C-alpha cells in the first residue's frame, strides 16, 4: 500500500492576502475514498489545487506516492478536475478536449480513441463531440469536463464538485464511473448527499481553512452540531431519523432509510 498523497503544514495565501488554507496535515493512502467537505469559501478548491500541485503552497509541501514532491513528475497519475468546467475546457471541440489529456500524457492514439468513444457514450456526449465546448449547456460542459479527466485514466482522482449542474440521470452515470475507478479518490464538495455513496472517510474543512475533523463517513455525517457549526447540514435521512434512532443506526442515504422503514413494517 503506502501513501499516495502526504501533505505537511500546507498553507496558501492568495496574492490579495486571503489565507484560504491553514496548516493542513493529511495523508491519503492508496485506494482510499475520501470526501473533503466544507462550506462555501472554506478552502476546498484551494486545497484541491495545492494537493494537485497546481499552485505552490505558501508553506508546507506535498509528497506524491512516497517518491517526489514534484507534481509534474507524476502528472499522468493525478486526475485533477477543476470546479468550473469553463476553466477546464479550452479546446476547439469537445473531442479535442477529451483527447487533450491522453495526447499530452502519452497515451497511445488507438487506446485514447476507444476511451473517448466509451466515455462519450457513457456521458451522453456522442452528438456533441464536434461542437465547441463553450457552446454547450452548463450540465453538458460538466459532463465533458468529467470525460476529459477520466480519459487519461489517472490513478488518483481529485474531483471538485463533479456533480454540480448535472441532471439525475447523468449524476448516476458519473457515480458509476467513480465507483468503477479502482484507484484513490478524493471528492471536494459542499453538499453531503452524494458523500456516503462514494466515500469512506470525510475530511471536514472549517470556515477558516483548517481541518476540523477527519473521521469515518458515519462519524462525521451523523454529528449534526459539528456540521452546523461549520456551515453544513447533515444529509436529509440523518436529519429525519435523528432522535428516533441511535446514532450508529442512522441511515445515511435515502435507500438505507427506505430499507429501515420496510424492515419495520414487517
Query: Grid coordinates in use for 102?
Result: 491522453
Among 83, 142, 222, 230, binds Mg ion (CB under 5 A): 83
Q: Does 132 bind ligand ATP (CB under 6 A)?
A: no
**Please, are residues 242 and 224 in contact by the beta-carbon 8 Å criterion?**
yes
What are the C-alpha distances in Å from 135 to residues 64, 100, 129, 138, 139? 37, 18, 12, 9, 12
Task: Supply φ then ψ for residue 7, to 5 degrees.
Answer: -105, 135
Among 75, 143, 171, 201, binds other proteins (CB under 8 A): 75
- The nearest distance, CB 55 to other proteins, in angstroms, is 7
Among residue numbers 35 through 74, which ones bind Mg ion (CB under 5 A)? 45
Q: Does 83 bind ligand ATP (CB under 6 A)?
A: yes
Q: Does 222 bind ligand ATP (CB under 6 A)?
A: no
Q: Does 38 bind ligand ATP (CB under 6 A)?
A: yes
250-253 long-range Cβ contacts below 8 angstroms, 24+ apart = 250/218, 250/222, 252/196, 252/217, 252/218, 252/221, 252/222, 253/196, 253/197
Q: Which stretch binds ligand ATP (CB under 6 A): 11-19, 89-97, 210-218, 248-256?
A: 11-19
Q: How many residues are there in the chain? A: 266
Among residue numbers 186 through 245, which ones bind other proteins (CB under 8 A)? none
- The nearest distance, CB 67 to other proteins, in angstroms, is 18
Among residue numbers 86 through 125, which ones bind other proteins (CB under 8 A)? 86-93, 96, 99-101, 103-106, 109, 112
Q: Does 206 bind ligand ATP (CB under 6 A)?
A: no
**Please, are residues 51 and 185 in contact by the beta-carbon 8 Å criterion?**
no
Among residue numbers 135 through 154, which ones bind Mg ion (CB under 5 A)? none
Q: Does 222 bind Mg ion (CB under 5 A)?
A: no
Query: Grid coordinates in use for 219?
Result: 462519524
Q: How many residues bind other proteins (CB under 8 A)?
A: 37
Q: Does 20 bind ligand ATP (CB under 6 A)?
A: yes
**Please, are residues 48 and 16 in contact by the beta-carbon 8 Å criterion?**
no
Q: Does 152 bind other proteins (CB under 8 A)?
A: yes
A 10 A CB-CB count for 29 gives: 14
* Residues of the shown chain interacting with ligand ATP in the complex, contacts defined by CB under 6 A: 14, 16, 18, 20, 38, 40-46, 83, 190
Amino acid at each position: 500500500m503506502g501513501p499516495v498523497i502526504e501533505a505537511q503544514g500546507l498553507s496558501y495565501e492568495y496574492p490579495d492576502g486571503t489565507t484560504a488554507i491553514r496548516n493542513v496535515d493529511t495523508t491519503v493512502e492508496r485506494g482510499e475514498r475520501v470526501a473533503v467537505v466544507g462550506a462555501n469559501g472554506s478552502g476546498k478548491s484551494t486545497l484541491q489545487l495545492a494537493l494537485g500541485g497546481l499552485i505552490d503552497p505558501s508553506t508546507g509541501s506535498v509528497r506524491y506516492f512516497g517518491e517526489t514532491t514534484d507534481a509534474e513528475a507524476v502528472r499522468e497519475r493525478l486526475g485533477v478536475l477543476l470546479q468550473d468546467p469553463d476553466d477546464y475546457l479550452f479546446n476547439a471541440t469537445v473531442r479535442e478536449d477529451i483527447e487533450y489529456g491522453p495526447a499530452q500524457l502519452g497515451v497511445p492514439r488507438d487506446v485514447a480513441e476507444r476511451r473517448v468513444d466509451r466515455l462519450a457514450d457513457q456521458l451522453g456526449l456522442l452528438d456533441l463531440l464536434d461542437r465547441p465546448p463553450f457552446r454547450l449547456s452548463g450540465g453538458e460542459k460538466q459532463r465533458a469536463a468529467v470525460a476529459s479527466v477520466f480519459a487519461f485514466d489517472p490513478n488518483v482522482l481529485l474531483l471538485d464538485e463533479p456533480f454540480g449542474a448535472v441532471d439525475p440521470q447523468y449524476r448516476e452515470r458519473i457515480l458509476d464511473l467513480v465507483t468503477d475507478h479502482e484507484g484513490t479518490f478524493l471528492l471536494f464538495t459542499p453538499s453531503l448527499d452524494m458523500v456516503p455513496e462514494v466515500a469512506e472517510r470525510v475530511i471536514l474543512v472549517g470556515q477558516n481553512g483548517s481541518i476540523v475533523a477527519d473521521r469515518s463517513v458515519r462519524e462525521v455525517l451523523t454529528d449534526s452540531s459539528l456540521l452546523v457549526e461549520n456551515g453544513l447540514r447533515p444529509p436529509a435521512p440523518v436529519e429525519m431519523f435523528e432522535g428516533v434512532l441511535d446514532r450508529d443506526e442512522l441511515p445515511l442515504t435515502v435507500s438505507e432509510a427506505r430499507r429501515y422503514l420496510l424492515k419495520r413494517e414487517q
